[in-house]
Amino acid sequence: MGTVSLLKCYRPFFSTLFPRSAPSTPHAAIFRKKSPPSFCACSSPPFTAEKDCGKSGAQGFTLKKPSPEVWLHNTMSKTKQLFKPKVESKVGMYVCGVTAYDLSHIGHARVYINFDLLYRYFKHLGFEVCYVRNFTDVDDKIIARAKELGEDPISLSRRYCEEFCRDMITLNCLPPSVEPKVSEHMPQIIDMIEKILNNGYAYVVDGDVYFNVEKFPEYGKLSSRDLEDNRAGERVAVDLRKKNPADFALWKSSKPGEPFWESPWGPGRPGWHIECSAMSAAYLGYSFDIHGGGIDLVFPHHENEIAQSCAACNKSDISVWMHNGFVTIDSVKMSKSLGNFFTIRQVTHP
Ligand SMILES: [Zn+2]
């Protein structure tokens, strides 16, 4: 409901900037289908390259027919590859969205402008694009911030989702086809965790569910890391209940005062990574064209997503893993933790 009302809230802004002939598919319509379609019916009808090319442009010159060839850098192969859609004339693209607990900075702006450009270009070439960009509205950082402010975590994150949408309007980014939120996809997330458990890739400890990385020999193939790289006490917190220090949480049992949802393993909430595996599968299926985000997501987020999706469905296959670089200040990554950032709002409304 939150997303639907949010879409209602910001769509009028877009309608003045980007008149759309048809609204995006409402989430409810997609959820009613038992097995998700390979592509959700989304975006306005595609135009053909022929229809839009060869006519005179505004300045009186003839527009050149755009090349249908698109070459993309694939983080998995570390090479540029000729893009071949899995379904003729369609593109399924999932881009990891923000964790909504504060105003977004210009490092975020780079990610979403990057993929907005790609979205527009595919549409320009005549592809029907289903562009899914999620909101993380259930997360440790949100819970901590809400505690500080004495606010309900879900309402805090809803507020910052709306702020993010305002920033995207300012940056002239088109709205994606769907903007799913974690809090609205618990059945899909729980269903995927059950599949992973049933297939023998995870285990339950005291109401928590962990992914067992040793069961997935390809773990590390995106980031080119060995399991040895994830030594306990360095990047991964020591937890003696885990079979391997690199095992990661699919479900976390609830602590007092935290938001929780009922599950077969007791009340709790999902780990961060499972949301994107579950929501991409819900809207695009297990096999789709492009999964993207900032380069900091390669490990652990996208590595873990690959492990989860393949563990839930052995036919899971993403054609291209696409990542953009950091925004840097004096050669240092801009980040909240270093305090060297500018919010989009500071830059666009000085
Ligand atoms: Zn993600």
CATH code (residue 179): 3.40.50.620
Long-range pairs, 47-55, Cβ under 8 A, ≥24: 47/126, 48/126, 49/125, 49/126, 52/124, 52/126
Burial (CB count within 10 angstroms: exposed 0-12, middle 13-18, buried 19+), residue 120: middle
pTM: 0.80
48 pLDDT more than 80? no
Distance 175 CA to ligand 1 centre (A): 18
Distance 235 CA to ligand 1 centre (A): 19
What span, in angstroms and rounded, lies between the C-alpha atoms of 155 and 141?
14
13 found inside a domain: no
The whole-number pLDDT of residue 257 equals 86
279 found inside a domain: yes
Which residues crowd ion ligand 1, with CB under 5 Å?
Answer: 96, 276
The whole-number pLDDT of residue 230 equals 57
30 found inside a domain: no
262 found inside a domain: yes
Show the domain range for 289. Answer: 69-348
Distance 156 CA to ligand 1 centre (A): 20
Confidence of residue 261 (pLDDT cuts 50, 70, 90): very high
35 found inside a domain: no
Distance 248 CA to ligand 1 centre (A): 15
| CA-CA-CA-CA torsion sign (22, 24, 27, 32) | positive
Distance 188 CA to ligand 1 centre (A): 15
Give residue 227's identity as a one-letter amino acid code. L
166 found inside a domain: yes
28 found inside a domain: no
Distance 217 CA to ligand 1 centre (A): 22
Q: Which two tokens stand for residue 148?
A: 């500080």
Higher pLDDT, 61 or 205: 205
79-89 mean pLDDT: 96
Using alpha carbons, list the distances in angstroms from residue 2 to 9, 172, 280, 282, 310: 10, 23, 19, 18, 30
Contact assessment for residue 125 and residue 70, using Cβ atoms and an 8 Å cutoff: yes
253 found inside a domain: yes
Q: Which two tokens stand for residue 298?
A: 């390669």
The whole-number pLDDT of residue 240 equals 87
Distance 309 CA to ligand 1 centre (A): 12
Confidence of residue 339 (pLDDT cuts 50, 70, 90): confident
Give the mean pLDDT of the chain: 83
Higher pLDDT, 152 or 350: 152
Contact assessment for residue 346 and residue 170, using Cβ atoms and an 8 Å cutoff: no
Contact assessment for residue 182 and residue 135, using Cβ atoms and an 8 Å cutoff: yes
Distance 225 CA to ligand 1 centre (A): 19
Distance 301 CA to ligand 1 centre (A): 6
- Number of structural domains the chain divides into: 1
